[in-house]
Amino acid sequence: MIDNKISPKGILLILYLIVIIFVGVVFVPCYEVWGAEKNVHDVGYTFLFKTMDWSTVNGFKVYYEINYARLIYTIGIVTLIASIIWMLLLLWEKEDRRVSLTAESGEERRE
């Protein structure tokens, strides 16, 4: 019979994918840059596909430059946290199996 129960690892994987999509597409770290010298106007987060801003600074259009180091660092930290939680779930799953197997073998010995 197929077990329709959602496992904690499945929930973790779904949450991880949502966070990676959110950090990698929706909420990307970037610099607001303007001018020929590429002066940084502001540092913030923006939608990935928003590359031009309608605002101007000293007559120059503002555009966004993605901060790749910060993006990779953020994705790396999220991946590290998800990996640690995944390993803990694997460890707890093995403990539960070991306890259930010893409990089953103990019941058989009593009979």
Residues 6+ apart with CB under 8 A from 89: 8, 9, 12
What confidence score (pLDDT) does residue 4 get?
67
Give every CB contact of residue 45 below 8 A, 6+ residues apart in sequence. 27, 28, 29, 30
DSSP 65-88: EE-HHHHHHHHHHHHHHHHHHHHH
pTM above 0.95, yes or no: no
pLDDT at 14 over 80: yes
Angle among Cα 82, 86, 87 to the nearest 5 degrees reads 120
- Determine the pLDDT at residue 53: 66
Pick from 4-13, 72-81, 101-110: least confident: 101-110
Instruction: Tell me what pLDDT residue 42 has.
Output: 84
CA distances from 27 to 23, 40, 67 (A): 5, 19, 12
pLDDT above 60: residue 110: no
Q: Where are the domains of the chain?
A: 8-106
- The per-residue pLDDT for range 22-80, each reduced to its tens digit, is 888 888 888 888 888 888 888 888 888 776 667 777 788 888 888 899 999 999 999 99
Q: How confident is the model at residue 109 (pLDDT cuts 50, 70, 90)?
A: very low
Across all residues in the chain, what is the average pLDDT? 81
CB 63 within 8 A of CB 31: no
